[in-house]
Amino acid sequence: MVTVALAGATTGLGLTILRHLVSSSNKTHKLILLSRSPQPAWTACGVFVRQVDYTSPETLIAALQGVHTVLSLIGGSAAALRDGQLALVAAAKQAGVKRFAPSEFSLRGGGYELDLYAGKREVWDAVVGSGMEFTRFSCGIFMGFLGTGTPKGVSGVGEGEGAGSGEEEALGGLRAWDFVVNVRNGTGDFPGDGRAAVGFTDTRDVARFVEGALGLERWGKEMGMRGDVLDWRQVVGVLERVQGRRFLWRENGVGEMERVAREVEGKRFYNQVRIALVNGEGLVGDELNRAFPNIKPVGVEEFVRKWWEGVELGEAKWEEDRSFM
């Protein structure tokens, strides 16, 4: 049994991973939830909750006593990604933690050229120099974004998770975002010519692969996972078949995306990610797929059919996209 401490696991992707580990039939790991506040619901589920203050090294070191592996799932602002994780790395080293996985779960190589992820490089360097075993979990683009805007209702899975809508279930812990494709309006805002291959992974499959990785004897420096590999033109092709309509689409040159990233703060992250995709950073590895062939992740077409098949939609039209930054 491995004692695993999860940081940043009360919301977002972290919550999806925590839910999976708690409900898993394997039950092979002792789970410790690091939280700034009491979590009685998780305590009732058998999770050991240890309250922490990320500005207090003493509380962090105490909370990490006896921990073998730390999973950082801290998200949010650039400052949170940097400062909270640096404090966690330092405390884990002092507490004798053996393994540390920083909050990556993104592009191949980390995507550190993105402004939002700049602090992640400092965290990565700190982990590499810590003496702990480490890995970068990379999963490409979250498939859940393709569920943004779905009017379908909650399924049994969502009911078990307490989802308030089908869209919330489809997103799997993500915030709604019309990333590259606006599935409801039928538009594709391609990075470059839309032909760069991208790995797509559902957050629940991320959780399953991470659970498998916790039991590995050795971690690779980067362990990729993917549910499907398609380029954006192929994604639009799937959407057109399922929805029975033609999409509107446009190409975006790197120069134009760079200009918008410089001049429009609210579109900076979006365009920096699209530039990274043109450069091939969205095609993450499949190390965990090969390590765990019994895990059959959901593919893009299966996901799209679940959330869009049979939905009546009008003709495609350009509108302002739903974006969180």
CB 233, CB 147: distance < 8 Å: no
Confidence of residue 245 (pLDDT cuts 50, 70, 90): very high
CB 225, CB 137: distance < 8 Å: yes
The rounded percent of the chain whose pLDDT value lies above 90 is 93
CATH top-level class of 2-134: alpha beta
The rounded percent of the chain whose pLDDT value lies above 70 is 99
Confidence of residue 127 (pLDDT cuts 50, 70, 90): very high
- Give the tokens for residue 17: 């991973």
| CA angle (4, 7, 10) in 5-degree steps | 110
Looking at residues 134-145, what average pLDDT do you find?
Answer: 98
Q: How confident is the model at residue 80, as a pLDDT?
A: 84
Taking only the tens place, the pLDDT of each residue in 186-230 is 999 999 999 999 999 999 999 999 999 999 999 999 999 999 999
Q: How confident is the model at residue 28, as a pLDDT?
A: 81
CATH superfamily ID and name for 141-201+226-308: UDP-galactose 4-epimerase, domain 1 (3.90.25.10)
Looking at residues 294-314, what average pLDDT do you find?
Answer: 97
CB 272, CB 282: distance < 8 Å: no
Looking at residues 23-50, what average pLDDT do you find?
Answer: 92
Beta strands, E only, the chain = 2-7, 29-35, 48-51, 69-72, 99-101, 133-134, 136-138, 141-142, 181-182, 187-189, 198-201, 222-224, 228-230, 248-250
CA atoms within 13 A on the CB side of 320: 4
Q: How confident is the model at residue 323, as a pLDDT?
A: 67
Q: How confident is the model at residue 1, as a pLDDT?
A: 77
CB 108, CB 283: distance < 8 Å: yes
Looking at residues 156-171, what average pLDDT do you find?
Answer: 95
What is the reported pTM? Answer: 0.96
* CB within 8 Å of 175: residues ≥ 6 apart: 324
Closest of 117, 124, 103 to residue 272, by C-alpha:
117
- Give the tokens for residue 307: 């959330």
Q: How confident is the model at residue 324, as a pLDDT?
A: 60
pLDDT mean across residues, the chain = 96
Per-domain boundaries in the chain: 2-134, 141-201+226-308
Taking only the tens place, the pLDDT of each residue in 93-110 is 999 999 999 999 999 999
